[in-house]
Structure 1
Amino acid sequence: MSSNTILKVENIGKQYRLGLVGTGTISHDLNRFWNRIRGKEDPYLKVGDSNNRSEKGKSEYVWALKDVSFKVNKGEVLGIIGKNGAGKSTLLKILSRVTSPTTGLIKTKGRIASLLEVGTGFHPEMTGRENIYLNGAILGMSKSEINKKIDEIIDFSGCLKYIDTPVKRYSSGMRVRLAFAVAAFLEPDILVVDEVLAVGDAEFQKKAIGKMQDISNSDGRTVLFVSHNMAAVKNLCTRGIVLESGKSIFDGRSEDAVKYYLNRQNSLNVLNLLERKDRKGTGEIMFSKVEMLNSEDNSVIELISGEYAKFRLHFIFNKKVNHNDLVFGVVIYDHSENKIADFYSDEMGIKFSNIGYYVDLEIPELMLRGGSYYVSIAVQTNIRVVQQLDVMHRVFNFKIFPGDYWKAGKINRATNVALLNGKFKNEYS
């Protein structure tokens, strides 16, 4: 490894056996042993399905990770993103030496501290204070070194009242607070953090992300961060890796990695709306599909709060109609069926002189907080008496990730409501 490289991963793979038997049978073990003493490759490394949970496998073995390689430099913050089951946690467990790889090699310099699950490494019968010393000893620190940091750890965790109480009586959030404080303040060379921070409240998540930034910027230490919060990955990480079905499919700047990942989650649920029977209207025009496009005109189902969005409404004509009389509408609801926003072409002063087979609703900044939403659509005529041509409810589902909409260095709250482009002022500003 070069002098600046602190972690090197070469062709890492992790294979598991499906079914009730966790590892292998006696016959498989004997077969492996016989091949090993003859200097031949493990025969079961040549088989195994990719880690795609939605497909029925053809083999009794599966590769949770396959041929993953990358380098991490000192002081770098690496974000690892991907769908559930992509192999992110498996990779972190291998890097943290919780489990060993089936194939490949890992080279590291310095101590690794891991926060993979709630209360990782804590003994439930020991108090919070005792667990701080236990974790410090595991990291190779002396008692005097831990003594210098213990007040900062307790203060950061916010668990002062319960610090001499057994950890088994802590809530999951308290355990995460203490575990993160221990991992961050005992000065590991590499800090590995899984999605476990999502258990903490908004205040703690902000503190934890700020601490990770301090660790990398001020102390020059390395952070590996797994999260489904795309805004946190963009703001915190300098580089990103995208995993899919156990393989690394992208490695680059964190902003590019997030964009690549969101583009990959393209509209898998773009349905043929012509097959839907739950529609109202005369049917002179019928919607065929709806999709959401990002600023690069890629079809997506996930965006970050405040980003550009375009809803494209595809339709067919079953009868000749006067385009000037058409009014298109898009209504956005949250997951509880509360109306969040609606858009109608006539209110915007738009007249359609001649249209093809789709219309676009452009939203320069989709000012929604983080959450799940869906779209309903309508087209009608607007001459004297309104006549509905096609009305459909819940035609497209999408997700918004919280983001730093006001560029204030703070991720907005996820409360499933719209953001208005306003600004607070006091009487002296």
Structure 2
Amino acid sequence: MSNSVISVESVSKTYRLGVLNHGTLRRDLQSWWARRRGLPDPNIEIGKSEVRAGTDFKALEDVSFDVQNGETVGIIGRNGAGKSTLLKILSRVAAPDRGRVRIRGRVSSLLEVGTGFHPELTGRENVFLNGAILGMTKTEIRRKFDEIVGFAEIDEFIDTPVKRYSSGMYVRLAFAVAAHLEPDILIVDEVLAVGDHEFQKKCLGKMKDVRTQGRTVLFVSHNMTAVNNLCVRSILLQKGKVIADGPSSEVTRTYLGTALTATQSHWQFALPAGETKRAFVREVFITDLNDEKREAYELTKDFVIGIRYRLTEQIRGLTVGLQIVSEDNNETLVSLTDAELDMTRLETREAGDYFARIRIPARLLNTGTYSLRIGMSRSRHDIYDVVEGLSFRIIDSVGIVMFLGYERKGSLLSVQLPWTVEREGSTVNAKSSAAG
């Protein structure tokens, strides 16, 4: 269409797996030497099968859509759906194997923390470097410089080399540069997860400002509430293909419905080749109190959520948290490990593998299907990893809900609370349950 600023036509992208893809020469040589000797690859994630060298992985397959001038479009999908690959192609970081992409206007991209920054340079120097990479003149950068630094809230550290910045400081400065240098098209990947809650709200507000100025925004996020608030339209990717494109409220509902139909009790994760993180989730599972994994869990019985994770370096004040969301996209429960709750006694954990678990009491969640989101952060500032798209079911095979004579009708909780039944001259304690 004549008003299209982005036109994607039958774009496909295929990667070759298992060939020099660990990210460092040392690890690549380790893997190559192990294969030559017929030994297991020492760099394969524990619990994962080895990827056969030369295997093709279709990150994108025949993707087509148009974005109009001034639109704010959400790109959503489960991990590995092809979202980041698509944005890299739109940002000209990667090229498609087939198809064509046409873009009209200046593009500003924020794909991952520190992209376009040089670690030895100061924050001030990197603002000018990154701005130049984005095609800005020195005059433009000077005009916006104070506003950029003020937005990033790093005034006292602006002349410090960015290699000393935390990941949260990195992303604050990187987003400030990308958003303030007046791009025609702003592309933002999930990097907004790296930052405290207040800064995330600030970033969403800035993107709304960019939208009201008639500019175009592409926004990738696993936060469906943020997508619905910011984006009128969303595109859902699944296994590299577009399976839904329309109003955000409908597309996010489709996404949640797709995720929640494939309930299971065990998930494993591995970092993409070449990617490093200070902390990341390796495994999540749900069991009953006998350590049995089930297709669904009883309303009247406790169950356990277990999380295995790895630290690649020492971290002080690490918090592991979970969020349980109903099939209606209502945030039902949030719980964090206690390190976050007592700021006076922050634990320091050494590099290594860890196991966290939480026991969910019986008759807390009502019957239905729920999605699970796991996050790892440090003192509410730096978020290291987030995994989502996990889902499980709560069932009522005993018939308590029907015994009470009502249908669920969207109730989220089914909590056992203390009741008293009073009669003239006496009080009788009744162990009854109230379904929320």
Common topology (TM > 0.5): yes
Alignment partner, residue 259 of structure 2: 265
Partner Cα separation in structure 1 for residue 208 and residue 103 of structure 2:
21
The code of the aligned residue for 1:125 comes to E
* Pick aligned residue for 1:305 from 330, 333, 345: 330
Partner Cα separation in structure 2 for residue 143 and residue 16 of structure 1:
38
Q: Residues 265 and 302 of structure 1 are in contact (CA less than 8 Å); yes or no, is this contact kept in structure 2?
A: no
Distance apart, 1:267 and its partner CA: 3.4
Distance apart, 1:266 and its partner CA: 2.6
Alignment partner, residue 11 of structure 1: 10
Q: Residues 267 and 301 of structure 1 are in contact (CA less than 8 Å); yes or no, is this contact kept in structure 2?
A: no
The code of the aligned residue for 1:85 comes to G
Change in CA separation of 1:61 and 1:302 when aligned onto 2, cut-off 3 Å: same
Alignment partner, residue 364 of structure 1: 410
Distance apart, 1:16 and its partner CA: 1.1
* 1:29-428 aligned within 5 A: 60-217=55-212, 219-269=213-263, 302-305=327-330, 336-337=358-359, 339=361, 341=364, 351=404, 362=408, 364=410, 366=412
Q: Name the SS for the 1:366 alignment partner.
A: coil
Q: Residues 263 and 295 of structure 2 are in contact (CA less than 8 Å); yes or no, is this contact kept in structure 1?
A: no
The code of the aligned residue for 1:116 comes to L
Distance apart, 1:269 and its partner CA: 2.8
Distance apart, 1:277 and its partner CA: 9.8
Change in CA separation of 1:249 and 1:161 when aligned onto 2, cut-off 3 Å: same
Partner Cα separation in structure 2 for residue 118 and residue 277 of structure 1:
39
Distance apart, 1:142 and its partner CA: 1.4
Change in CA separation of 1:259 and 1:19 when aligned onto 2, cut-off 3 Å: same
Partner Cα separation in structure 2 for residue 160 and residue 278 of structure 1:
51
Change in CA separation of 1:11 and 1:57 when aligned onto 2, cut-off 3 Å: farther
Change in CA separation of 1:270 and 1:246 when aligned onto 2, cut-off 3 Å: closer
Q: Residues 306 and 366 of structure 1 are in contact (CA less than 8 Å); yes or no, is this contact kept in structure 2?
A: no
Q: Residues 401 and 408 of structure 2 are in contact (CA less than 8 Å); yes or no, is this contact kept in structure 1?
A: no
Q: Residues 267 and 291 of structure 1 are in contact (CA less than 8 Å); yes or no, is this contact kept in structure 2?
A: no
**% identical aligned pairs:** 53
* 1:12-27 aligned within 5 A: 12-21=11-20
Distance apart, 1:168 and its partner CA: 0.5
Q: Residues 74 and 220 of structure 1 are in contact (CA less than 8 Å); yes or no, is this contact kept in structure 2?
A: yes
How many aligned positions are there? 291
Q: Residues 117 and 196 of structure 1 are in contact (CA less than 8 Å); yes or no, is this contact kept in structure 2?
A: yes
Partner Cα separation in structure 1 for residue 203 and residue 295 of structure 2:
46
The gaps in structure 2 that reach 5 residues or longer are 22-47, 266-286, 300-324, 333-355, 367-395, 417-429, 431-435
Change in CA separation of 1:349 and 1:224 when aligned onto 2, cut-off 3 Å: closer
Q: Name the SS for the 1:304 alignment partner.
A: coil
Partner Cα separation in structure 2 for residue 291 and residue 250 of structure 1:
33
RMSD: 3.9
Q: Name the SS for the 2:159 alignment partner.
A: coil
Decide which structure has the larger Cα Rg and report it.
1
Q: Residues 17 and 53 of structure 2 are in contact (CA less than 8 Å); yes or no, is this contact kept in structure 1?
A: no
Describe the superposition over 1:246-271 as per-residue Cα deviations: whole angstroms up to 9, x where unpaired: 11111001111100101111332368
Change in CA separation of 1:303 and 1:125 when aligned onto 2, cut-off 3 Å: farther
